[in-house]
Amino acid sequence: MTSFAAKVFCRVERLCHHLPVALNTFLVFSITGEVSYLVLVEAPLEADQKKTVWSAWWKVVHLLAQYFMLGNICWNALLFLKTSPSIRGVFLGGEGMGQGWRYCYTCETHTPPRCSHCYDCKVCVLRRDHHCVFFGQCVGFRNYRYFLSCLLFMWSGLLYATLMNAEVFIVILKEGVTVHSVLLLLIPWIMLVSGQVSARAFAFAFIADTCVVGFLLVSAFFFFHLFLLFRGQTTREWYSSRRPYSLGLLGNLRHTLGTRWYLCWLSPLIPSAVPGDGIHFEVTGSLEPYR
């Protein structure tokens, strides 16, 4: 009985681990599909413009921009999940050991400064920032670039989707701010279950609400991490107001995003830097590679 309960618990834990990723994937593709429908079917609103050359080019440009952002979100998220931020595969020890090193009794190894153990990932993470519940993985030195790029394109994509859904809010509120329109925007699920609105109206209201709420949340995360990037801090260091590893603005950008930091935003396929320099700084704390 105990063995069966342990197996059930492990399966539930595994399901809960992947649930945020599945939910985020569903929301991203739902928003993309809804915005594509708005571009292809609903816009432009004027009937005499729907079959013009301008309308065709307008739709092509919007779809290209939309799927460029979607591709970058998915590819950066995939690389973030596939890139382990742990200390596995990194040589720790030798002459580089010095002040600030600690011994992790769980992993049974010495760890450099800024490295800490994650009890969710069950491993020590190199320059651990935080454990991201939305991805189910820690944000550390090796995958921070993909995390930040994913946030950038999620922010720009949600801004674009919110602007495209402005017409949805206009249609819902066209007869004024009524109890029906307010409830449709605030609790669309209740309105659908109670039979007050159609499935089509619910879908548009739900996705429009999701775009606004998602944009606000992602904006907070993105600009906070951009602030930390400029200061050369992790989230853990920000709590303690320490900046012992700041290399200056340009040095922080090169250290986190690579020597091609000005290009890496365009695509995750663009090589970032020589990884040895970054690992050397993280493990030894020497600033020499960036001077």
Task: Answer yes or no: are the C-beta atoms of 210 and 27 closer than 8 Å.
Answer: yes
Q: What is the pLDDT of residues 160-208, one digit of tens each?
A: 999 999 888 888 888 677 888 888 888 888 888 888 888 888 889 999 9
**Cis before residue 44, ω within 30 degrees of 0?**
yes
SS3 assignment, position 118: strand
C-alpha 257/C-alpha 265 separation (Å) is 9
Task: Answer yes or no: are the C-beta atoms of 208 and 168 closer than 8 Å.
Answer: yes
pLDDT score recorded for residue 275 = 45
CB count, 10 Å around CB of 214? 21
C-alpha 282/C-alpha 88 separation (Å) is 14
DSSP secondary structure code for residue 179 in this structure: H
C-alpha 137/C-alpha 141 separation (Å) is 13
What sign does the CA torsion over 62, 64, 68, 71 have? positive
User: Model confidence at 90, in pLDDT bands (50, 70, 90)?
Assistant: low
pLDDT score recorded for residue 63 = 92
- pTM for the model stands at 0.84
pLDDT score recorded for residue 230 = 93
pLDDT score recorded for residue 280 = 52
Task: Answer yes or no: are the C-beta atoms of 213 and 205 closer than 8 Å.
Answer: no
* H-assigned helices in 38-178: 53-82, 144-164, 166-172
SS3 assignment, position 176: coil
pLDDT score recorded for residue 291 = 36
C-alpha 73/C-alpha 42 separation (Å) is 25
Tokens representing 242 are 């320490």
**Least confident among 77-86, 194-203, 223-232:** 194-203
SS3 assignment, position 158: helix
Query: Which residues does the annotation mark as catalytic?
Result: 132
C-alpha 110/C-alpha 106 separation (Å) is 11
Tell me the pLDDT of the chain averaged across its residues.
Answer: 82
Per mean pLDDT, which of 102-106, 222-226, 281-285 is the most reliable?
A: 222-226
C-alpha 133/C-alpha 118 separation (Å) is 12
Instruction: Determine whether 15 is exposed, middle or buried from the number of CB atoms within 10 Å of its CB (0-12, 13-18, 19+).
Output: exposed
Task: Answer yes or no: are the C-beta atoms of 247 and 290 closer than 8 Å.
Answer: yes
Chain-centre distance for alpha carbon 30: 17
In this prediction, residues 38-65 reach a mean pLDDT of: 74
**Least confident among 9-18, 142-151, 236-245:** 9-18
pLDDT score recorded for residue 269 = 83
Percentage of the chain beyond pLDDT 90 is 32
C-alpha 23/C-alpha 271 separation (Å) is 30
SS3 assignment, position 224: helix
Provide the residue type at 152 as one letter: L
